[in-house]
Structure 1
Amino acid sequence: MSSKESIDEEKPVAQYDADGVLVDTDDEFGGVDARRKLERKLLWKLDMRMSILVFIYILNYVDRNNAGAARLRGFEADLHLKGQEFATLLSILYVGYIIMQIPSNMFLNYIGKPSLYLPFCMSIWGTISCLTGVTNNFVGALLTRFFLGFVEAAFFPGAYFLLSKWYKRSELGLRIAILYCGNIISNAFGSLMASGILSGMEGKLGHSAWRWLFYIEGALTIFVALSAIFILPDFPATTKGKWLSDQERALAMKRMEEDAGVGDETETEVGGPTAGLMLALKDWKVWWMALAMTSQVVALSFNAYFPTLSATMGFGPTVSLLLCAPPFAFTAILAFFLSRHSDATGERFWHISISFFVGIIGFVIAISTMNTAARYISLFLMAQSYAGFVVLYAWVANTFPRPPSKRAVALALINAFSQLGNVAGSYVWPSTWGPTYRNSYAICISCAGFAIVLCYVMKLHLQSLNRQLDRVEEEKGVKIKGFRYLV
């Protein structure tokens, strides 16, 4: 897509009169002050309901990464895994995950019922997680892992899209950060839960502790899925129930119209899902962002092997799992504040790149020494790079505001493509490279550096598009700026 096409597609419409004066659109809500009060109430209601997404995301990643914890308690031995078979079990999940994301988001945009669709998918992946506990060989585990990824694919791009339908660009970064904290917290919470289950359930009812890990965490997922049906909202135009008044629902749609410069819901109906697919495929910014995220996902591949890296410090399985929690608890707090500051300043690139660079420092420390204290500090520095990754997710959502059908596909496509990094990353940490894992860390350094370069190029391009928008509005005599890309 050319720069001119990008400008024509994204420019705001019908927000100013002939003299370039902003039109007062608050009369229907009782004026400016009444609207602000109503908007605060709306956001409070939204935040309360959307908070269930954090718990779902925690379980999404716990179910996805529990194989790493199970590895410490006989998972490989009981399934008779050899060579790279464990790495294959990790990577096969992302094959299904990649395949399903775009069709899932297109379907979600079409039906407009995330309150039913997302919990339905969640209950299925919880069931599949339970079934992983009854497998007895590599093939059985391979099938459950593939279908687990196939169904889990619906959640993150769907939640990502749902948030972008309710929150303005200036609000989205913080909400995505809070959502993604579910991923980060899952590494801490999942390790603590796994530590308790693996240390206390060995031999219960004749089952190994690692099998109980899948049973218990899968059952918890199903329970939360059933609860989510009654909590999650649908889209502004399709949501029902008494939790929103008619005026609040009208304000929700008006906010998104003002933020993107066009009515969201009408455009979804006119464009349709296939139109959105074509728009996304033609926009090179989609592919560039996807490549940047893929590169950084490889750099974050240590996540699936975090218990293994923690074990290189010489402690037993239980202590190694407990030591996994503090780095990610710290990262969750940092991600919240970094995203909030990024939203407040309207700046994305430096918030992303500085976090990635600090992660590189962590990799360098891990390469340089086997000292226990230094390696544990390096785990904190590595983990915090997730904070920058959260801001990158917000940047992606900001860069593709409309039409909704395109945004649904773009967000799913970028997230799906980035999962190729998880497929590759599954093979970056072979046990033969341990306990130093110097080659693994070198790969992570290269990928994180490449991601920074790609983000910088995108920053320069978006700045160029913003200058073109400045010139267009200057030529038309518009006095108040409309839509601008965040950089």
Structure 2
Amino acid sequence: MASSKASSLDEDKNPEVGIKPTDEDPDAEFGGHEARRKLERRLLRKLDLRMSILVVIYILNYVDRNNAGAARMRGFERDLHLQGTEFATLLSILYVGYILMQIPSNMLLNYIGKPSLYLPACMMVWGTISILTGITNNFVGALLTRFFLGFVEAAFFLGALFLLSKWYKRSELGTRTAVLYCGNIISNAFGALIASGILNGMDGKLGRAAWRWLFYIEGAMTIFVAICAMFILPDFPATTSWLSDDERRLAKRRMAEDAGVGDEGETEAGGPVAGLWMAVTDWKVWWMAVAMTSQVVALSFNAYFPTLSATMGFNPTVTLLLCAPPFVFTAIMAFIVSRHSDKTGERFYHIAGPTLGGIVGFIIAICTMNTAARYVSLFLMANSYSGFVVLYTWVSNSFPRPPSKRAVAVALVNALSQTGNVAGSYVWPSAWGPTYRNSYAICIATAGCSIAMCYIFRLHLAQLNRQLEEEEREKGIPEKGFRYLL
């Protein structure tokens, strides 16, 4: 799977993605080393500017997914006549569709090579489905819209991660993934603020309940941004039309140098079926899927955050407003932690640290009902997302090639981990409130399990790195080649 730079593709067969075009100066085709650096900076600025719309899309992705939690506080359950665990079922059914579609969607995206069309098209569909949720009148109608919402939303996050992995090197990917995932985190902060404004200002307008307007307005916002995204998002290096010839060659070369082989050539050689087979037969994929599933269960408080905030005893408006600061803090910390992880080339401890902080938050919430202490615990819980962002990056780093395998591996790990959201929807029954001690205990156990599995994974990757080093020594290769990040 891994190899040194010496195992790059033969330049005669694939000159575009070869690592060393000339023996004298590997950067000669770009005008020398300094000219290449300037070209690379210009390429990254151009990419970062266009990729930034992914953050906006992810905010809307999670707002459309989690607005049921805010709607619950303004008559959603009453108007739909929900009983027992039916609300939890509405939350969990979304992830059934989400799980089913993730792997086929990423395989299709890799095959089509046009994320600028594919992702916005999916976005328009889920925005429409979100609007339809606002016209439902019973449990069955809401169940259907939630299922299909998850089915279509599945295309975005894994597609965005795969798109980033086609443009950015491993040393750059953590920060970009953190910025992307900040869209998720920010959605929890500003989604609550937007919901508060809509729920307070639109109640009874045109004879419709406030929670229905929440779905109408947020779904319409999604469709508008999707139309804009079609003209902004890049495709893959080989299929993006707005790159110059030099920028396109450099984009391919960067990925070749980073993994020791060119992405485009291996995509053609492997194909989606070969990539699927390589991914499902790699035990590391399944191991990380279980580790992430445990982490997702530990993060299940996310969908119930307004409910947990309400245990502090404030009115619904203040409760929603109090949801914002913990996630604003988390967004800042996620960026700092991921950037430091990229600079140091270390992953495990950047995952374990915030997760342990979340465990401390769970313990505080178990031990006291004091308002200040419980609010501090919400900050610590939310900040565990900082480690989860690095975990996503680690998965992408650990399956570098071929891209057909990487597309499936990343999708498979994330798809299986979403079963944690299905289970997590039932971790917070009202009967366990307002203390939710049993719920917090489950989160402590699953977070601890995730840390332990990640540590074992780190030990295995360290062993693989030692094997690579030994192979290079035996072959007399002076340059240090590919290494897994630990």
Within 5 Å, give how 1:92-107 maps onto structure 2: 92-107=93-108
- Which stretch of structure 1 is more off in the superposition, 473-482 or 206-215? 473-482
Q: Distance in 2 between matches of 1:28 and 1:362?
A: 54
Q: Distance in 1 between matches of 2:50 and 2:284?
A: 32
Equivalent residue for 1:449? Answer: 448
The one-letter amino acid of 1:236's match is P
Question: Structure 1 residue 350: deviation in Å?
Answer: 0.4
CA contact (8 A) 1:12 1:483 kept: no
Decide whether aligned partners of structure 1 residues 12 and 352 sit closer, same or farther in structure 2, where only a CA change above 3 A counts.
farther
- What's the secondary structure of 1:166's corresponding residue? coil
Q: Distance in 2 between matches of 1:192 and 1:247?
A: 45
The one-letter amino acid of 1:330's match is F
Equivalent residue for 2:76? Answer: 75
- What's the secondary structure of 2:7's corresponding residue? coil
Decide whether aligned partners of structure 1 residues 16 and 269 sit closer, same or farther in structure 2, where only a CA change above 3 A counts.
closer
**Which TM-score applies when normalising by structure 2?**
0.96
The answer as to 2:114 corresponding to 1:113 is yes
Equivalent residue for 1:26? Answer: 27
Q: Distance in 2 between matches of 1:7 and 1:70?
A: 48
The one-letter amino acid of 1:333's match is I
Decide whether aligned partners of structure 1 residues 40 and 11 sit closer, same or farther in structure 2, where only a CA change above 3 A counts.
closer
Q: Distance in 2 between matches of 1:486 and 1:276?
A: 22
Question: Structure 1 residue 270: deviation in Å?
Answer: 1.3
Q: Distance in 2 between matches of 1:474 and 1:386?
A: 40
Question: Structure 1 residue 16: deviation in Å?
Answer: 12
- Which stretch of structure 1 is more off in the superposition, 264-273 or 444-453? 264-273
Question: Structure 1 residue 11: deviation in Å?
Answer: 7.0
Query: After the TM superposition, which segments of 4 or more aligned residues of structure 1 sit over 4 Å from their partners?
Result: none
The one-letter amino acid of 1:374's match is A
Tell me the alpha carbon deviations over residues 242-267 of structure 1, each in whole angstroms, 9 at most, x when there is no partner.
Answer: xx211011100110011111111011
Question: Structure 1 residue 240: deviation in Å?
Answer: 1.0
Q: Distance in 2 between matches of 1:14 and 1:118?
A: 32
Tell me the alpha carbon deviations over residues 365-411 of structure 1, each in whole angstroms, 9 at most, x when there is no partner.
Answer: 00000000000000000000000000001100100110010000001
Once the two structures are aligned, what percentage of the paired residues are identical? 77
Within 5 Å, give how 1:290-305 maps onto structure 2: 290-305=289-304
Q: Distance in 1 between matches of 2:467 and 2:188?
A: 43
Equivalent residue for 1:439? Answer: 438
Tell me the alpha carbon deviations over residues 429-470 of structure 1, each in whole angstroms, 9 at most, x when there is no partner.
Answer: 000000000000000000000000000000000000000000
Equivalent residue for 1:417? Answer: 416
CA contact (8 A) 1:12 1:260 kept: no
Tell me the alpha carbon deviations over residues 63-93 of structure 1, each in whole angstroms, 9 at most, x when there is no partner.
Answer: 0000000000000000000000000000000
Decide whether aligned partners of structure 1 residues 11 and 138 sit closer, same or farther in structure 2, where only a CA change above 3 A counts.
farther
The answer as to 2:446 corresponding to 1:462 is no
Q: Distance in 2 between matches of 1:423 and 1:201?
A: 32
- What's the secondary structure of 2:166's corresponding residue? helix
- What's the secondary structure of 1:485's corresponding residue? coil
Question: Structure 1 residue 15: deviation in Å?
Answer: 8.7
Decide whether aligned partners of structure 1 residues 12 and 452 sit closer, same or farther in structure 2, where only a CA change above 3 A counts.
farther
The answer for unaligned runs of 5 or more in structure 1 is: 1-5
Q: Distance in 2 between matches of 1:120 and 1:424?
A: 30
Question: Structure 1 residue 343: deviation in Å?
Answer: 0.2
CA contact (8 A) 1:7 1:468 kept: no
Question: Structure 1 residue 13: deviation in Å?
Answer: 1.4
Q: Distance in 2 between matches of 1:26 and 1:421?
A: 47
Question: Structure 1 residue 290: deviation in Å?
Answer: 0.7
Tell me the alpha carbon deviations over residues 81-116 of structure 1, each in whole angstroms, 9 at most, x when there is no partner.
Answer: 000000000000000000000000000000100000
Equivalent residue for 1:339? Answer: 338
The one-letter amino acid of 2:174's match is G
Question: Structure 1 residue 14: deviation in Å?
Answer: 3.6
The one-letter amino acid of 1:238's match is T
The answer as to 2:157 corresponding to 1:156 is yes
Decide whether aligned partners of structure 1 residues 157 and 123 sit closer, same or farther in structure 2, where only a CA change above 3 A counts.
same
Equivalent residue for 1:390? Answer: 389
Equivalent residue for 1:351? Answer: 350
CA contact (8 A) 1:194 1:213 kept: yes
CA contact (8 A) 2:357 2:384 kept: yes
Equivalent residue for 2:226? Answer: 225
Q: Distance in 1 between matches of 2:483 and 2:159?
A: 25
Q: How many residues align?
A: 476
CA contact (8 A) 1:132 1:144 kept: yes
Within 5 Å, give how 1:215-254 maps onto structure 2: 215-241=216-242, 244-254=243-253
Question: Structure 1 residue 478: deviation in Å?
Answer: 1.1
Equivalent residue for 1:178? Answer: 179
The one-letter amino acid of 1:472's match is E
Alpha-carbon RMSD = 1.4
Within 5 Å, give how 1:117-136 maps onto structure 2: 117-136=118-137
Question: Structure 1 residue 12: deviation in Å?
Answer: 5.3
Equivalent residue for 2:14? Answer: none
Q: Distance in 1 between matches of 2:349 and 2:427?
A: 28
Equivalent residue for 1:3? Answer: none
Equivalent residue for 1:63? Answer: 64
CA contact (8 A) 1:268 1:404 kept: yes
The answer for unaligned runs of 5 or more in structure 2 is: 12-19
Q: Distance in 2 between matches of 1:240 and 1:16?
A: 26
